[in-house]
Structure 1
């Protein structure tokens, strides 16, 4: 039998000859539904052998063995007609209920948006015959195919595809290793892609905690994922079948962000995820989130969702870009939410090129546990191994590189007491920074509160003046209005006399109101000046307290490194401009205060 890798290569070469397939994405889309049906049928054979009176969840004529296994079977136009007009149409529209026929439902979901791109039935038959060289009922061959499948999934990725990038296997394994999901814990990836984290978590639990057939059934039920796009969803479902999940109905095809955040239950034990970053959601999705945390940036929305769905004591490991660490505005508010509701105990800073060649964006792994606020944050700067200056598609990161982190890690139960600082690791006392920032901002907030009290006192004084003004005007106008009423009642009244009376009313109103206008205007101006000062004081206080949420902390054990990355330079420039504006506002407030006191002094002397 040919090696599996050569079979896959031959299939790709055959597909390149077909006029209906344009590019790698369509080749992978074509291969994905074929692989799904072949893997599904191999699993069906096992279930038929293991279970008495087993019933096929789809019409039997659509099982791989009944239309594709015979190398001399359907081909050419007859094969195309069967696939396009019978197989696809029937599998998409079969009445499979998720409760009554869950495996049938999985097939229906998998084919909901699948498509046969090939237009040449003879070439399609050649692809099918090549796939038949792989025996998925052979456990050793299936395990070997699992490695090849990883390569297929890597080939799916391309830079700039809505911020979606294949997570290197080494990173996935490290995150699962440190989170250590247990048997019975609900494990979720809300942006599961092709299922790398879920497959790795499944393997981890199976290797460390599964001992009986009942344990294996428990494991099958505890894996959950959601994927927005059809092709990755189909690949993920196939991935779960390959790993032995018989009914992967928990792998849902949809957008996790498309329902209100408040409607989610907080019942997830473990989240492992690399949500899309750099991309944005369609209009309206942000309305599902709290007003002060709304954004269209996908990664920011997913981080909020992850915090929400974790149960108390739930653990998460999430890949996020540097932009999340140093970002301001809504990003700061999300980090405030994260550090108040969760213990963000560790940030592993990954080196450049981990996601090469798909993106050069610098990334981090955030480890946190829900239920307690953050006190200390440990940083670990993952170095390149000796002799390596960058990663590439042919020379990716290896799991063994994380051995130093694993040895250093310690135990969350004792607050990571065994951890020590070294060239790669350092700690910040986040709670102390928070307290210091609040203490530094307190005088500014106190001044703002005092000025607010002055604003409210002025508002009361202005209202009192307006009431006095209203009473004075009413007193002045009452006799004139009475006279007008009498004059209007007289049918013989002189129109000129009436017009003259109206002018007297207007003049009397202005005369009565005038003594109050200057005082009202003066106090309104004072009120506006105080409100401006309050805004400036609050801005200064917020700048102080927000600064601690810049988690882009540099390694203190190495010298300052000069970055030439345009994105980092732009962020640094924006931060410097903001600092200049803050200083300018402070100077304006000081000058305004000094000038105001000088004017008051001159009035007193006068």
Structure 2
């Protein structure tokens, strides 16, 4: 989590930009994001160079595509080459070379410059994704480099370099930084958006266990955390056994994400590119509107959709309202997952507790749809501190399969009480962690059949859920085992009270005597 020293360093970077005259919060976030991306490109290039040297030493003929052109102008765009230069050199390099080049990025490579110093646009290459432009480049087209002076740029680069060298441990911490900056912009949460912690995302991915052949979508992708967790899982499980066709799919059509925030789209495209996904399907889209017509396209959906507020009823897709006639986004997104998934497709999504027991017609209709017309596999109740310090809402994870023909028999419930971190705003690491147990039990559900309702996980038959109005809250079914407490006889209790009273009277008398002296 972003706390203490790291917060102070980010605040300092923010203040330096603000003092330079750029005060609009999202503009500040965008400019910092661009510089983080530019630095990350150089880090990725260093890894490419190491890989090329390793292949050469081993006599392996493998072409490693470099990001930066080999020319002097191309190499001068690398963060490691300009970060320690004079302020004016840094400012001009970014404004005249790096930023224009990034806007023309293609196939994960930056373009070179012609003899006039102009960007030489990379030609379309049918051998490389048929000339498809990278998602980040698409969303950068209208972006502007707005850091006002060389002095401000130098301060920001110095601050970021300090963060990366001393504080940023991994790729996911960048996501924590984005989230903290969103909080500073006083906009985090206005649409119910807050970042899902990586260990929760990873758990949800492991529950669904995606393969290289899956098509994975998050229709409320934010910073693309779920897509990145899915990509990391697939790499970890299948990297050495993937065919050329599967790698091509992995780098492009395997991952799709939609959002209504252009800043988030730029961030998500950047994140995916840095994870080897050069052409993800990242697009600006109001997922629950009529304009989103995607139907039966994906095999996996992973999401933490917005909870708060409602949407304009006139824009809501009629196909979603047919399932649950509501303006509540948390219900509409569940209907959306069912529509976007292919038959047999799997979904793991986070919902507020109200979805599980809400008494409105829309709530009941949505739960009935899952239980009666598809296969609801699991309801995992999470403690309210999971999303602190950003939010303290109580949530659950729904895991289901789209069938269109029912299939729910017994629903597995799990009462998660610990996720490996303290449940306060500090979110310090602790030993108590139910996540490994959840994953292990979910993948071996046959062993759960005999579990009692007093235990942390258990099955509930479909008919019992129907009889309870399709209520999916774990407290409806969990049994609390009361241990009887044996008290001593009344005579003994009275005798003890009398003895205490005598002791009190004795002490009071001694105190009065001391005061007389």
Question: TM-score with structure 1 length normalisation?
Answer: 0.61
Q: Is 307-316 or 287-296 further displaced after alignment? A: 287-296
Deviation at 1:248, TM superposition (A): 3.3
Compared with structure 1, are the counterparts of its residues 64 and 119 closer, same or farther at alpha carbon in structure 2 (3 Å cutoff)?
A: farther
CA contact (8 A) 1:228 1:254 kept: yes
2:265 pairs, out of 225, 233, 236, with 233
Compared with structure 1, are the counterparts of its residues 125 and 322 closer, same or farther at alpha carbon in structure 2 (3 Å cutoff)?
A: same
The residue aligned with 1:496 is none
1:377 equivalent in alignment to 2:411: yes
The residue aligned with 2:155 is 126
Deviation at 1:16, TM superposition (A): 1.1
Deviation at 1:324, TM superposition (A): 1.1
SS of the residue corresponding to residue 202 of structure 1 reads helix
The residue aligned with 2:425 is 392
Deviation at 1:424, TM superposition (A): 1.9
1:406 equivalent in alignment to 2:447: no
Deviation at 1:81, TM superposition (A): 11
**What is the 5 A alignment of 1:21-32?**
21-22=22-23, 26-32=27-33
Q: Is 199-208 or 124-133 further displaced after alignment? A: 124-133
**What is the 5 A alignment of 1:157-556?**
157-158=182-183, 160-212=189-241, 214=244, 216-221=247-252, 222-245=254-277, 247-259=278-290, 263-282=293-312, 284-292=314-322, 293-327=324-358, 328-371=360-403, 372-384=406-418, 390-395=423-428, 400-411=433-444, 417=449, 421-431=453-463, 433-434=465-466, 548-554=469-475, 555-556=477-478
Compared with structure 1, are the counterparts of its residues 387 and 557 closer, same or farther at alpha carbon in structure 2 (3 Å cutoff)?
A: farther
The residue aligned with 1:520 is none
The residue aligned with 1:601 is none
Deviation at 1:119, TM superposition (A): 2.4
**What is the 5 A alignment of 1:83-94?**
83=95, 87=99, 91=103
CA contact (8 A) 1:113 1:230 kept: no
Compared with structure 1, are the counterparts of its residues 343 and 252 closer, same or farther at alpha carbon in structure 2 (3 Å cutoff)?
A: same
SS of the residue corresponding to residue 239 of structure 1 reads helix
* C-alpha distance after superposition, 1:258-313 (max 9, x if no partner): 3456x323132221111111132345321443554343322222111101122222
CA contact (8 A) 1:391 1:397 kept: no
CA contact (8 A) 2:350 2:398 kept: yes
The residue aligned with 1:66 is 77
The residue aligned with 1:152 is 177
SS of the residue corresponding to residue 82 of structure 2 reads coil
Deviation at 1:325, TM superposition (A): 1.3
* C-alpha distance after superposition, 1:355-412 (max 9, x if no partner): 1122222100001112133222222111248996x33244268894323323433436
CA contact (8 A) 1:174 1:399 kept: no
Give 1 or 2 for the bigger CA radius of gyration: 1
- 1-side partners of 2:295 and 2:301: how far apart? 14
- 2-side partners of 1:116 and 1:282: how far apart? 34
Compared with structure 1, are the counterparts of its residues 217 and 101 closer, same or farther at alpha carbon in structure 2 (3 Å cutoff)?
A: closer
Deviation at 1:129, TM superposition (A): 5.2
SS of the residue corresponding to residue 289 of structure 1 reads helix
- 2-side partners of 1:41 and 1:385: how far apart? 35
Q: Any unmatched runs of 5+ in structure 1?
A: 438-546, 561-606
Deviation at 1:87, TM superposition (A): 3.8
Compared with structure 1, are the counterparts of its residues 386 and 114 closer, same or farther at alpha carbon in structure 2 (3 Å cutoff)?
A: closer
Q: Is 229-238 or 394-403 further displaced after alignment? A: 394-403
The residue aligned with 1:514 is none
1:79 pairs, out of 79, 82, 91, with 91
Question: TM-score with structure 2 length normalisation?
Answer: 0.70
Deviation at 1:167, TM superposition (A): 0.9
SS of the residue corresponding to residue 244 of structure 1 reads coil
Compared with structure 1, are the counterparts of its residues 226 and 64 closer, same or farther at alpha carbon in structure 2 (3 Å cutoff)?
A: farther
Aligned length: 436
Query: What is the aligned-residue RMSD (CA, Å)?
Result: 4.2
* C-alpha distance after superposition, 1:126-181 (max 9, x if no partner): 32355567999xxxx99943143243144245353310011122211211122111
CA contact (8 A) 1:172 1:197 kept: yes
The structure richer in helix per residue is: 1
- 1-side partners of 2:351 and 2:284: how far apart? 23
Deviation at 1:331, TM superposition (A): 2.2
Q: Any unmatched runs of 5+ in structure 2?
A: 53-61, 106-120, 483-517
Q: Is 55-64 or 366-375 further displaced after alignment? A: 55-64
Compared with structure 1, are the counterparts of its residues 401 and 92 closer, same or farther at alpha carbon in structure 2 (3 Å cutoff)?
A: same
Compared with structure 1, are the counterparts of its residues 382 and 38 closer, same or farther at alpha carbon in structure 2 (3 Å cutoff)?
A: same
The residue aligned with 2:510 is none
The residue aligned with 1:578 is none
